Amino acid sequence: MFTGELGRSVFGATVFTFVFALGVPWIGSTIFYILGLNYGCCTSTIAFFATCFLALLIFAVFPRGRLNPKDKAVLITGCDSGFGPLLAKQLHALGMHVFAGCLLKDKGGEGAKHLMKIQSSRFHVLQLDVTNDSEIKMAVQYIGMHIPPNQDGLWGIVNNAGASAFGEIEWSSIDLYKKVAEVNLWGVIRCTQACLPLIRRAKGRVVNMASGFGRMIAGSRSVYGITKWAVEGFSDCLRYEMRRWGVKVSIIEPGNYIAGTSIFTEDGVKKLGDSMWEKMPDNVKEDYGKKLFDLRVAEMQTYCSKGMDDLRPVLNAYEDALLSRIPLIRYQPMEAYWTIRSFVFTHFPSFI
C-alpha cells in the first residue's frame, strides 16, 4: 500500500490504527448502546480487524529481502521525460542492463539525446512507440540479442509510457478516448505480450504504471481514468496467470505528480481545451456555455504547478517492485491525503 518509505508509512499506519482501533469502535459501540445491543462485541470485532490492517501496513514497511541487481536486464518504456529517464539512470547505476524506450529517439528528442550521452555497454536507448507493433517487435528482437549471456532472459519490463487528458464526458470526443487508451492501455498490453516469452524464461517481473485514479476517480478525468482502471484489471489477471511461471506482477498507483513530471502544462491544457471546444457538438456547447468551459480549463491550468515535485517515491516503488524478493502487488507513492482518500473510496460505501 505504501512505497516503503518509513516516515510516510508509519504516519499512515498511525492514522489508520487510531481511526479504526479507537474512533470506529467508539462510534459502533455508541450505535449498539442506543439500539440496546451487546456493544462489547462491536469493539472487539473492529479492534481485531484494525490489528490485522496494521499488520499489513507493517509488512509493507519492513524489509522483504532484496535481489542482486547486477546484470539483470530491464526494458523501460516512456523514457523521453518524467519518471522514465530518471528510473533508467537509477537502475543503470545499480548495475542493471537498461533498455530505455523513447518515443522520439528517431526525431531527435531531447530526452533520448540526453540518455544517449551515457556511454555504457549496459545502457541502450531504443526507438519505441508503444502504439506501433513493428517498433515493439524490433525492440524485443534487439533486446533478445543483447541480453547478457549470464542471464536466462529479460528480468523485467516497466510499462511507464503514458498519456493524459481532461474534460467532462460530453466534451470529450471518442477520438480523444481512443488516443489516450492507445498508449495507456493497448500500449501496456502490446509491450507486455511481446516481452513475456523473455520474462518467463527469467522468472522476472512486470511492473505497470496505473494511477491513484485507477482506484478512485474525479470529475473531468474519465478519458484518463478508464485506462488506469483497465490497467488494474489487466495486471491482476496477468498476475494470476503468471504465477505458474514464477513471474511477479506489480502495479504502481502514484498520486499527483503533475508538478514533477510536467505531464500537463498551461499551454498544453489550453491547446487541448481549444481542440475540445472546436469538436464539441453545438447543442453541448449551448447547454454548458463557454463561461463554464473556460472556468474548467482555467482550473486545470492551476493544477499544472501542484502536486509532488520529488519523484523519488515513484522511482523507489519501481525499484522495489523489480528487486524486492517479495514485491508488493500495489504501491501507492502518494501524499497521506491521497492515501487516506484512496482507502475511503475503495473500502467505504460508494455514496461517500
**What is d(CA 164, CA 256) in angstroms, rounded to the nearest whole number?**
13
Active site annotation includes 33 = no
Question: What are the φ and ψ backbone dihedral angles of 349, each rounded to 5 degrees?
Answer: -55, 145
What is the pLDDT at residue 34? 74
User: What is the secondary structure of 65-91 as a DSSP string?
Assistant: -B---TT-EEEES--SSTHHHHHHHHH
Annotated catalytic residue, options 39, 224, 318, 331: 224
Contact between 69 and 94 (Cβ < 8 Å): yes
What is the pLDDT at residue 93? 98
| pLDDT tens digit at each of 352 positions of the chain | 444 444 455 555 566 666 655 666 666 667 667 766 665 565 566 666 667 667 766 766 677 899 999 999 999 999 999 999 999 999 999 999 999 999 999 999 999 999 999 999 999 999 999 999 999 999 999 999 999 999 999 999 999 999 999 999 999 999 999 999 999 999 999 999 999 999 999 999 999 999 999 999 989 999 999 999 999 999 999 999 999 999 999 999 999 999 999 899 999 999 999 999 999 999 999 999 999 999 999 999 998 988 999 999 999 999 999 999 999 999 999 988 888 888 778 877 777 6
Beta partners for 330?
Answer: 251
Q: Give buried/exposed letters for 53-80 (b at 16+ CB in 10 A, else e).
A: bbeebeebbeeeeeeebeebbbbbbbbb
Helix, strand, or coil (residue 176): helix
Q: What is the 3-state secondary structure (H, E, C) of 103-117?
A: CCCCCCCHHHHHHHC
CA 313, 211, 140 angle in degrees (round to 5)?
A: 85
CATH superfamily of 73-258+314-336: NAD(P)-binding Rossmann-like Domain (3.40.50.720)
Reference 79, options 115, 46, 54; nearest CA is: 115
Domain boundaries defined on the chain: 6-61, 73-258+314-336
